[in-house]
Amino acid sequence: MTPPGRRTTVVVLVGPTGERPAHLGTVEARAELRYTDAAGLPDALDGADVLFLWDFFSTALRDAWPRAGSLRWVHVAAAGVDTLLFDELVRSDVVVTNARGVFDRPMAEFTLASILAHAKQLHVLRDHQRAAQWRREETTPIAGQAALIVGTGSIGRATAALLRAVGMRVRGAGRTARSDDPDFGDVVASARLAEHVGWADHVVVVAPLTPQTRGLVDASVLGAMKPSAHLVNLARGPIVDTDALLHALRTGGLAGASLDVFDTEPLPADHPLWTTPGVVVSPHLSGDARGWRDELARQFADLAQLWLSGRPLPDPVDKRLGFVPAPEARP
């Protein structure tokens, strides 16, 4: 909360289009709002208490940090905080919150859609249609199939619930192994992923990008998957070793991959992933269900009401870990 007698200043960083978040009327009633683009951020931060990163993948705060001396809270309109965090911010007292929860159900639905499209060969059938070919294919039932969900956060949990609801068998891969998890049942240790992926027909990656998850799905993990298996990566590109993935797909080590995220985004036009058989590319949109921008803005407005009233913000990011730990794992 801002010291008595001083009006709180909230900076809203907008992207190159200049589009502003709706629904900030309740914030504006109680605080000074300053909208800026990245170029104007250093000046806008002078004397500011709060920064709302509406331009959620911006790295502009890092450059403007020397001017952020009065900043006490940063909210980013994204679930992943890997592009936001830098050493000075991590070491500071500035509280960071994220868009926890907004993407849970849309990402779970996108995962189910990817699994069904793979099992029912929808993309293959579209290729046949384009070639005006009346060509029949067999499809695979997903009831009883096994899905290993790598990343036991809120998106992983929503995904587990949805996949169970359609009759799939589900396990999680988290930081620590345990049984009797309410959403996953069994959770295996993601550090030993290669020992566990052979169980799965679908390996779904929804973990935060951290030093522990960077390169987690490497050649040894891909090599241990069933040749009939399907990889879904909706989290961050660098969690999967792309060269190893291409090798596995080209040599029959893996049947397919549904990829929403990439090492370089946009995916370059000449990248082999565009044309490798079995690969389905989507442009980092798996969480973007209609209404998402409104929901992101409302979430910030609600948190701002708490902050302006001096109440604690729920679910802060653990800046050293690089994600929001589950409530039972908090200090």
Cα R_g (the chain), whole angstroms: 21
Q: Is 138 or 328 the residue whose CB approaches ligand NAP more closely?
A: 328
Give every CB contact of residue 17 below 8 A, 6+ residues apart in sequence.
Answer: none
The two three-digit tokens of residue 299, written as one number: 């979430």
Catalytic residue set = 236, 265, 284
Q: Is 44 or 187 the residue whose CB approaches ligand NAP more closely?
A: 187
Give every CB contact of residue 233 below 8 A, 6+ residues apart in sequence.
Answer: 205, 217, 239, 240, 257, 258, 259, 260, 261
For the bound state, the minimum distance from the C-beta of residue 103 to ligand NAP, rounded and expressed in Å, comes to 4
Q: Which residues bind ligand NAP (CB under 6 A)?
A: 79-80, 100, 103, 107, 150-156, 173-175, 190, 206-210, 212-213, 234-236, 260-261, 284, 286-287, 323-326, 329
**CA nearest 79: which of 61, 50, 106?**
106
Give every CB contact of residue 12 below 8 A, 6+ residues apart in sequence.
Answer: 20, 21, 24, 33, 34, 35, 36, 52, 54
For the bound state, the minimum distance from the C-beta of residue 155 to ligand NAP, rounded and expressed in Å, comes to 3
For the bound state, the minimum distance from the C-beta of residue 102 to ligand NAP, rounded and expressed in Å, comes to 8
Distance from C-alpha of 301 to C-alpha of 22, rounded to nearest angstrom: 10
Q: Is 249 or 261 the residue whose CB approaches ligand NAP more closely?
A: 261
31 and 10 Cβ atoms separated by less than 8 Å: yes
For the bound state, the minimum distance from the C-beta of residue 190 to ligand NAP, rounded and expressed in Å, comes to 3
Q: Which residues pair with 185 in a beta bridge?
A: 181
Residue least distant from ligand NAP (Cβ): 153
Q: Is 223 or 325 the residue whose CB approaches ligand NAP more closely?
A: 325
For the bound state, the minimum distance from the C-beta of residue 218 to ligand NAP, rounded and expressed in Å, comes to 13
Distance from C-alpha of 276 to C-alpha of 291, rounded to nearest angstrom: 33
**CA nearest 116: which of 167, 171, 158, 150?**
167
Q: Is 68 or 81 the residue whose CB approaches ligand NAP more closely?
A: 81
